[in-house]
């Protein structure tokens, strides 16, 4: 937070995780999808027992096949939860109308993890 918003061409990626700011990413998303977008945000708890192998399906009626969906982590995670999210290396790997599948490319979480699913839909 606190960074000055910019356009998509101002967003840079730093693989160390220090150079990509959420305000710039949000601006880039809006620019890519068009100026008229609707954003939905929902808090979800990934229940440790509900993983299927290294995948977890999150259902939400706001998700459309054309939605841009990304995962955010709450500011109030405990250190243990934060370590589990970081170790999981989560990514959205499949999307249908009404759901998104997350995959843990690292360690499958063994504790319940609160996350936020953010859905951007272009208005028609």
Tens of pLDDT, residues 21-61: 555 666 666 666 555 578 889 999 999 999 999 999 999 99
Please check whether residue 121 is in contact with residue 66, taking contact to mean a CB–CB distance below 8 angstroms.
Answer: yes
The pTM (predicted TM-score) of the whole model is 0.68
Identify which of 80, 79, 42 has the alpha carbon closest to the alpha carbon of residue 61: 42
Banded pLDDT at 88 (limits 50, 70, 90): very high
Identify which of 62, 61, 54, 69 has the alpha carbon closest to the alpha carbon of residue 117: 69
Specify the DSSP class assigned to residue 8. G
Rounded Cα gap, residues 28 and 9, in angstroms: 8
CA distances from 106 to 45, 52, 90, 111 (A): 18, 14, 8, 14
């Amino acid at each position: 937070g606190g960074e000055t918003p910019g356009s998509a061409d101002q967003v840079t990626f730093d693989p160390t995780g220090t150079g990509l700011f959420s305000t710039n990413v949000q601006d880039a998303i809006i620019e890519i999808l068009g100026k008229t977008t609707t954003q939905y945000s929902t808090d979800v708890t990934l229940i440790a027992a509900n993983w299927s192998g290294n995948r977890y399906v999150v259902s939400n009626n706001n998700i459309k096949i054309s939605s841009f969906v990304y995962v955010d982590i709450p500011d109030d995670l405990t250190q243990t939860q934060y370590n589990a999210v970081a170790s999981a290396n989560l990514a959205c790997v499949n999307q249908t109308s009404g759901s998104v599948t997350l995959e843990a490319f690292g360690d499958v979480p063994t504790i319940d993890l609160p996350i936020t699913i953010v859905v951007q839909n272009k208005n028609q």
